[in-house]
Structure 1
Amino acid sequence: MEGLDKFVRKMRAMSEQTKQELQAETTRAANEMVALAKGLAPFKTGALRASIQASNGPPPAHAQFAGKSRNEIATTVTSGNTSARHSALVEFGTKPHIVGGIYEGARHPGSEPHPFFWPAFRAQKRAFARRMAKAVRTAARRQAEGG
């Protein structure tokens, strides 16, 4: 395709300003997902809701998160941490089982799922894709014009 190689070179040489704008867009979208997930999360002690966060670094220990990225422009949304290790158990529920530890041998009836993380992700996914596509088009236009 004519001009494609030149376009790809320009996109790879994307300005720092453009990278910052795209990162800001991913952070905005991630914060919207965090707000929605916190609103959907069940509340008992508040630890689970408090564990839902967006970050540009590696996810915390015991976190449930959506996707992985090798890109430098990325924001990770997570739920769960060392204070709220039960994030996935709340999201997906548990089957009836025999417990261990100090209550070894006791029968746990299981728990119903209370989805909060993945519904928030699915609700935001299309809007995020549209917003990023628009931001990339704007950046590409600016790069093509020499900016």
Structure 2
Amino acid sequence: MARGVKTAGRSALLRKLALLPEAARKEIAKAIDQSAEEIAAAQRRQAPKRTGALERSIVVSRDGAVPKYASVGRAGTTEKGDPDLSVIVSAGNDRVRYAHLVEFGTAPHENKGLFEGSHHPGTKPEPFFFPVYRAYRKRVKSRLTRATKKAARTVAASSGGGE
């Protein structure tokens, strides 16, 4: 743009652009929460149901508060991102410390402790956590893209006031 040229509505445009981050944050936060709850519900449906404890241990945590001893899904921490736009879906807690063993299975091994010397045949994996995450990943990305575009359209359409 050449010097000295005035753009009609420039200040209104700048005000709208300043509003975009907050509007986008609200829309994205709503989309993230909806997606996390949807994924957690699907993971609960997929979890093996012997006692129901594993199913009940699948939770959505906000503000970086992950249940102590959560053993699956802790990889995403809010230290890298915005705490308001971060959620962690996890399985396991202080009573259910075996979520990772169910998800990935165990290898045959010799027991120690109370049953020392006995042979454990291992267990087959019963994936319930990561397959659901992978199945929903594309849907979540699309939802976040739509939320961002919706926020941009809302801000663009709002009256920014004249000059």
TM-score where L is the length of structure 1: 0.83
Partner of 1:68 in structure 2?
77
TM-score where L is the length of structure 2: 0.76
Return the structure number with greater relative CO, CA threshold 8 A, min gap 6.
Answer: 2
Partner of 1:54 in structure 2?
60
Counting only pairs closer than 5 Å after superposition, residues 5-44 of structure 1 correspond to structure 2 as 10=17, 14-15=21-22, 18-44=24-50
Contact 1:97/1:110, CA 8 A, preserved across alignment: yes
Q: For 1:140 and 1:13, how far apart are their aligned partners in 2?
A: 6
Show CA shifts across 1:23-79 (max 9, x none).
121111111111111111101111100001112132112211153341231221111
Q: Once superposed, what is the RMSD of the aligned Cα atoms? A: 2.4
Counting only pairs closer than 5 Å after superposition, residues 1-147 of structure 1 correspond to structure 2 as 10=17, 14-15=21-22, 18-57=24-63, 58-63=65-70, 64-65=72-73, 67-69=76-78, 70-71=81-82, 72-144=84-156
With over 3 angstroms needed to count, the CA separation of the structure-2 counterparts of 1:47 and 1:11, relative to structure 1, is: farther
For residue 14 of structure 1, report the CA deviation from its aligned partner. Answer: 1.9
Contact 2:19/2:155, CA 8 A, preserved across alignment: no
For residue 145 of structure 1, report the CA deviation from its aligned partner. Answer: 5.1
Q: Counterpart of 1:30 in 2: which secondary structure?
A: helix
Matched-pair identity in %? 35
Most deviating of 134-143 and 105-114: 134-143
Structure 2: gaps of 5 or more residues? 1-12
Structure 1: gaps of 5 or more residues? 1-5
